């Protein structure tokens, strides 16, 4: 007739997983003056965008920046005019990579990432990572 | 007596684990102030996100059980007052896809790693993890008439029984799990365990 239930709560550990929550990240955009502009990037993940599979996002190019020029036209601070700057191919030496998958961590060779924590890679490695046969790689400009 | 065969429901439940719970209501005394989870176009996924469990076998069963205290008096034969004192909720189903994400959720106390380098692998590490990670569970069941659907969203679950994985020559691996719900006390009173919505139309 009368029922009581004293349920033992064995689940004190009420820790919430860090599910698909990407914090604000700072993006550094190189410019030709060798200065780095900091730009705040707001949260880019909405519930509709939560990936189902592993995703690696190359967030942006960051300093330092290398200017690649022909060897017979050595580039120095003195002889670079505005036109040269505009026409020179630019290659960032590093890229910021963010892993957005569901696993607790993602490893690529010696590089290890956790969801939402940006990691900086040499650009060669980052580009190599993009060739990995996951479907969900994104490059973000 | 009005009867409606269309309201008799029969159909499987498709389960997603993980994702972000629909926003809690601003009025902590009004459960209806919370946002309602929906399915995206063509039933691709719930808007709460998460990873699809994939194939299941047997029913996916929602169990919700409140416990009541009945006040009896000398003056009346039947109890004159009843108050709720506890409630419990769980969802049971059998996962057939032995993906590392499914195994991770089922084992509960596992830490997963995707390894893109050689050799490529997805690994779960288990043993000695002191904290319990909870996650969202969404279950979609389309109506038999193909118009409308039910969507169950349990805000915080964990695998309470772990796994019993059969590696067997003549039987597929049946990963039976019981996902037990924890109350999310950051949500309004009355909306701390789950929401079960019936939609009368398919998602746009």
Sign of CA dihedral A56, A60, A62, A65: positive
Give residue-wise pLDDT tens across range B120-141: 888 999 999 999 999 999 999 9
- The pLDDT assigned to B117 comes to 72
Mean pLDDT of the region B168-187? 96
From A51, A29, A41, A62, select the one nearest A99 (Cα to Cα): A51
Q: Calculate what percentage of chain B has a pLDDT beyond 90.
A: 93
Task: Give how far A33 is from chain B: nearest CA, Å.
Answer: 37
Rounded Cα gap, residues B6 and B8, in angstroms: 6
Rounded Cα gap, residues B15 and B170, in angstroms: 26
Strand, helix or coil for residue A129: helix
- Answer whether 0.80 is exceeded by the pTM: no
Q: Residue B89 — φ and ψ, nearest 5°? A: -145, 140
Rounded Cα gap, residues A25 and A110, in angstroms: 23
Mean pLDDT of the region B145-155? 96
Contact residues for A57 (Cβ-Cβ < 8 A; gap 6+):
A97, A98, A99, A100, A137, A138, A139, A140
From B10, B1, B45, B27, select the one nearest B138 (Cα to Cα): B45
Mutate to test the interface with B, among A12, A45, A103, A105 (most CBs of B within 10 A): A103
From B99, B120, B112, B51, select the one nearest A129 (Cα to Cα): B120
- The pLDDT assigned to B18 comes to 93
Give residue-wise pLDDT tens across range B56-107: 999 999 999 999 999 999 999 999 999 999 999 999 999 999 999 999 999 9
Q: Residue A87 — φ and ψ, nearest 5°? A: -95, -10
Q: Which residue of A has its CA nearest to B44?
A: A48
What ipTM was reported for this prediction?
0.74
- The pLDDT assigned to A64 comes to 34
* Higher per-residue confidence, B19 vs A20: B19
Q: Which residues of A touch B (CB under 8 A)?
A: 1-5, 7, 11, 13-17, 19-21, 47-50, 52-54, 101-109, 129, 132, 134
Strand, helix or coil for residue A106: strand
Rounded Cα gap, residues B89 and B107, in angstroms: 19
Taking contacts as CB-CB distances below 8 angstroms, the residues of chain A near B182 are: 11, 14
Neighbours of A50 (CB within 10 A): 25
Q: Say whether B133 and A17 touch across the interface (CB within 8 A).
A: yes
From B98, B110, B95, B201, select the one nearest B158 (Cα to Cα): B110
- The pLDDT assigned to B6 comes to 87
Pick from A21, A48, A106: CB nearest B114: A106
Q: Residue A21 — φ and ψ, nearest 5°? A: -100, 110
Run of H or E residues at B135: strand B135-142
Which residues of chain B from 132 to 191 reach within 8 Å of chain A, CB to CB? 132-136, 156, 158, 182
Sign of CA dihedral B50, B55, B56, B62: positive
Taking contacts as CB-CB distances below 8 angstroms, the residues of chain B near A101 are: 114
- The pLDDT assigned to A58 comes to 59
pLDDT in tens, chain A (141 residues): 444 444 444 444 444 444 444 444 444 444 445 444 444 444 444 444 444 556 666 554 433 333 333 333 334 444 344 334 433 344 456 666 777 777 888 888 888 888 777 777 776 776 676 665 544 445 443
Pick from A1, A20, A107: CB nearest B70: A1
Q: Say whether B18 and A103 touch across the interface (CB within 8 A).
A: no
């Amino acid at each position: 007739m009368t029922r009581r239930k004293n349920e033992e709560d064995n689940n004190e550990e009420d820790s919430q997983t860090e599910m698909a929550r990407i914090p604000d990240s700072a993006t550094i955009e190189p410019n030709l003056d060798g200065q780095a502009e900091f730009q705040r990037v707001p949260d880019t993940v909405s519930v509709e965008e939560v990936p189902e599979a592993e995703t690696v996002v190359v967030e942006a190019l960051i300093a330092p920046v290398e200017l690649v020029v022909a060897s017979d036209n050595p580039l120095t601070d003195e002889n670079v005019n505005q036109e040269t700057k505009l026409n020179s191919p630019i290659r960032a030496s590093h890229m910021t990579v963010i892993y957005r998958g569901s696993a607790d961590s993602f490893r690529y060779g010696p590089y290890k990432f956790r969801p939402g924590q940006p990691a900086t890679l040499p650009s060669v490695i980052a580009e190599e990572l993009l060739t990995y046969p996951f479907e969900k790689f994104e490059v973000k400009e | 007596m009005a009867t409606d065969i269309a309201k008799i429901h029969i159909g499987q439940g498709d389960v997603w684990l993980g994702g972000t719970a629909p926003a809690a209501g601003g009025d902590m005394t009004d459960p209806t102030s919370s946002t309602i989870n929906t399915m995206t176009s063509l039933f691709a996924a719930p808007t709460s996100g998460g990873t699809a469990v994939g194939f299941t076998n047997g029913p996916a069963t929602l169990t919700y059980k409140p416990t009541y205290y009945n006040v009896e008096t000398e003056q009346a034969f039947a109890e004159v007052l009843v108050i709720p004192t506890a409630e419990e909720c769980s969802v049971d189903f059998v996962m057939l896809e032995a993906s590392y994400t499914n195994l991770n959720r089922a084992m509960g106390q596992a830490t997963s790693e995707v390894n893109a380098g050689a050799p490529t692998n997805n690994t779960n590490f288990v043993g000695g993890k002191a904290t319990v990670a909870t996650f969202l569970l969404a279950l979609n069941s389309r109506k038999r008439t193909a118009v409308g659907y039910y969507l169950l969203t349990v805000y915080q679950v964990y695998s309470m029984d772990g796994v019993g994985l059969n590696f067997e020559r003549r039987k597929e691996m049946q990963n039976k799990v019981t996902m037990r719900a924890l109350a999310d006390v950051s949500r309004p009173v009355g909306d701390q365990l789950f929401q079960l919505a019936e939609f009368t139309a398919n998602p746009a």
